[in-house]
Structure 1
Amino acid sequence: MELPLVVGVDGSESSLRAVDWAADEASLHGRGLHLVYASKWERYEGLALAHGLGKPSERVFAENLVGSATERAHRRHPQLKITAETPAEDAATALLNAGRNAFLLVTGSHGRSGVTDLLLGSVSLTVAARADCPVVVLRGSHDNQIGAGMNRSVALGVADPAEGDAAVRFAVREAAARGVSLWAVRAWRLPALEAGGHPLTAGDAARHHERTAAERIEDALREVTAEHPGVTVHQQTGEGPARRVLLNASATVDLMVVGALRRPGYFGLQLGPVAHTLLHHSACPVAVVPERAPMP
């Protein structure tokens, strides 16, 4: 049984963009689309009201909302198999539960709370930091053009090989499915002690660190790109903090992919500083891919 693509809906403009994007992505990969709207109507309106007056207003609202989102996705891709649920749970819990059996989980950057688009909503942040499957958060103002895209490229923030290759595989798979190029990006830093010496020596040190970053990219992608020979891969190294280098790259690609290490036995928000920054400020949609840390 193929796992579906899950998208969170709540009626906000951000979630409608997420439905469009998720419908395109599901069609691209030949997956079903599963809509989730978290409804706590039973907790607030009570079973007595449900039995005495028929369906409570929140339940009617939930059914109308997912029905409207389903029609929207079907208009975009009539062939899609679409299912929906309205669990009586908070939004983060409902999406995390759905993500346990999902190909991919998609959310908008914020919901109906009215939070400005400059920052990420708490639900999207929690889901990206805890989900068992890859999560895409619809940052930026890109048109929902999954296949072609405005920039015809996917970017990958290349981490150390010891952190796993799930993000690499996800990024290459996305580039292959979309028929676009992949930009593999890695930052490098010149330590202060090395930069403080003779200018020629400092230049040699900088070239060494830049070359090492390029070698890390090659090592990370060698095996995976061999499985997808049709994907054109470009390397990009940049001096500076990884957060800044990847934020700059997000302005010229259609999707930014980063990994997030999941540590066994740890139940807090498992996001590194790079993923956290991108989720709040990226100029394009961000995919956060769980990387499983080895057992101690």
Structure 2
Amino acid sequence: MELPLVVGVDGSGPSLRAVDWAADEAALRGAPLRLVNASLWERYEGVSAAGTDRPPDQKLAEDVVDAATRRVRDRRPGTRVSADVLPDDPVSVLLHEGHRACALVIGSRGRNGLVELLLGSVSLAVAARADCPVIVLRGGQESRAAAGEHRRIVLAVGDGPNSSAPARFALQEAEARGASLDAVRAWRWPGREPTDQPPVEGEPARRHERQAVEILESALDGPAAEHPSVRLRLRAAEGSARGVLLAASAGADLLVVGAERLHAHVGLPVGRVVHALLHRSACPVAVVPDRAGTQ
């Protein structure tokens, strides 16, 4: 069965931009698009009897998905699109849909919490727990996936040997868009005092840089062979992972990060680097399930 791309909609401006982005993404992938709205009207009002008027909340939810469906068909006439209003809370709806989706697309702020401000719980909870990649667009970001301004994807390469899923996702995105892929890893030399001068050849810092390059090569070696048409650049940059990746996002159409799936945790539901990127990235962020996680 072909898995759909799923987008959460609630009629707000950010969710409609997410619908536009998802329509382009579905066209790039040749995938069906599924629109979902979370509504609890059935729990509180009950199912209306035959022949009676629909409850206002039911009518609003159905009108929202109908309008979003028309928007997709106007923008991408050939897209296979389906829509549904599901009687549950937003996090539960999106996580359930993620079990049978190729990816989830969410805006950053919404009307009923389905695509709310990232400082809230919904987007962070979904990004931390979904079984599939979660693509988060913040308000005002480019709403076109098909014609990105930069034609450049950035992949954050983290630690450990189990980071192939984010790499494969990033390469697929780059190939579909005809974009280049920059695989980026930050490195630090704790013993060096801050200075404007780069470390000279022979200093211990060079060892840390070489280790970062080796990790990049290891992470991309197998996945890159599956996408030979993608122009790949490996970049090891000195600095904090958060700072390096935020700087890289300024010239990218999509930033791909791996995130460890945390079932029991204290504090942030995602790692500190991913949390910062979701709040401050200059481009949409794709959070891809990854056992190893991001730096």
- TM-score with structure 1 setting the length: 0.89
How far residue 287 of structure 1 moved from its aligned partner, in angstroms, is: 0.2
CA separation in 2, counterparts of 1:267 and 1:54? 45
1:145 match: 144
> Cα deviations across residues 66-115 of structure 1 (Å, max 9, x unaligned)?
0000000111111111111111111111111111100110000111269x
How far residue 241 of structure 1 moved from its aligned partner, in angstroms, is: 1.3
CA separation in 2, counterparts of 1:52 and 1:292? 52
How far residue 120 of structure 1 moved from its aligned partner, in angstroms, is: 4.2
**Are the counterparts in 2 of residues 140 and 283 from structure 1 also a CA contact under 8 Å?**
no
2:242 match: 243
> Cα deviations across residues 108-137 of structure 1 (Å, max 9, x unaligned)?
0111269xx985442111111110100000
Percent of aligned pairs with the same amino acid: 55
CA separation in 2, counterparts of 1:267 and 1:67? 38
**Are the counterparts in 2 of residues 99 and 131 from structure 1 also a CA contact under 8 Å?**
yes
Do structure 1's residue 100 and structure 2's residue 109 form an aligned pair?
Answer: no
CA separation in 1, counterparts of 2:55 and 2:2? 35
CA separation in 2, counterparts of 1:30 and 1:184? 25
CA separation in 2, counterparts of 1:71 and 1:267? 41
How far residue 203 of structure 1 moved from its aligned partner, in angstroms, is: 6.5
2:40 match: 40
CA separation in 1, counterparts of 2:70 and 2:124? 28
1:10 match: 10
**Other structure's SS at 2:39 match:** coil
2:225 match: 226
Structure with higher helix content = 1
CA separation in 1, counterparts of 2:117 and 2:10? 19
Which moved further from structure 2: 169-178 or 237-246? Answer: 237-246
Which moved further from structure 2: 280-289 or 104-113? Answer: 104-113
How far residue 277 of structure 1 moved from its aligned partner, in angstroms, is: 0.9
Distance 1:13 1:175, change over 3 A: same
CA separation in 2, counterparts of 1:214 and 1:201? 17
Q: Which amino acid aligns with 2:69?
A: T
How far residue 4 of structure 1 moved from its aligned partner, in angstroms, is: 0.3
**Other structure's SS at 2:256 match:** strand
> Cα deviations across residues 226-267 of structure 1 (Å, max 9, x unaligned)?
11111001122221210111111111100000001125x647
Which moved further from structure 2: 233-242 or 93-102? Answer: 233-242
Count of equivalent residues = 287
> Cα deviations across residues 38-60 of structure 1 (Å, max 9, x unaligned)?
0111122234x556843111111
**Are the counterparts in 1 of residues 199 and 206 from structure 2 also a CA contact under 8 Å?**
no
**Other structure's SS at 1:147 match:** coil
**Other structure's SS at 1:155 match:** strand
Q: Which amino acid aligns with 1:20?
A: D
Do structure 1's residue 164 and structure 2's residue 155 form an aligned pair?
Answer: no
1:87 match: 86
CA separation in 2, counterparts of 1:186 and 1:58? 47
1:262 match: 261
CA separation in 1, counterparts of 2:56 and 2:284? 34
**Are the counterparts in 2 of residues 11 and 65 from structure 1 also a CA contact under 8 Å?**
yes
**Other structure's SS at 1:161 match:** coil
Do structure 1's residue 272 and structure 2's residue 249 form an aligned pair?
Answer: no
Unaligned runs of 5+ in 2: none
Q: Which amino acid aligns with 1:277?
A: A
> Cα deviations across residues 128-185 of structure 1 (Å, max 9, x unaligned)?
1110100000136332232331111000000123243100110011001111000111
**Are the counterparts in 1 of residues 14 and 139 from structure 2 also a CA contact under 8 Å?**
no
Distance 1:167 1:200, change over 3 A: closer
CA separation in 2, counterparts of 1:20 and 1:128? 20
Do structure 1's residue 189 and structure 2's residue 208 form an aligned pair?
Answer: no
Q: Which amino acid aligns with 2:10?
A: D
Which moved further from structure 2: 136-145 or 272-281? Answer: 136-145
Distance 1:149 1:206, change over 3 A: same
Instruction: Map 1:53-72; keep pairs closer than 5 Å.
Output: 53-72=52-71
CA separation in 1, counterparts of 2:50 and 2:244? 57
CA separation in 1, counterparts of 2:227 and 2:278? 28
**Other structure's SS at 1:22 match:** helix
**Other structure's SS at 1:125 match:** helix
**Are the counterparts in 2 of residues 260 and 290 from structure 1 also a CA contact under 8 Å?**
yes
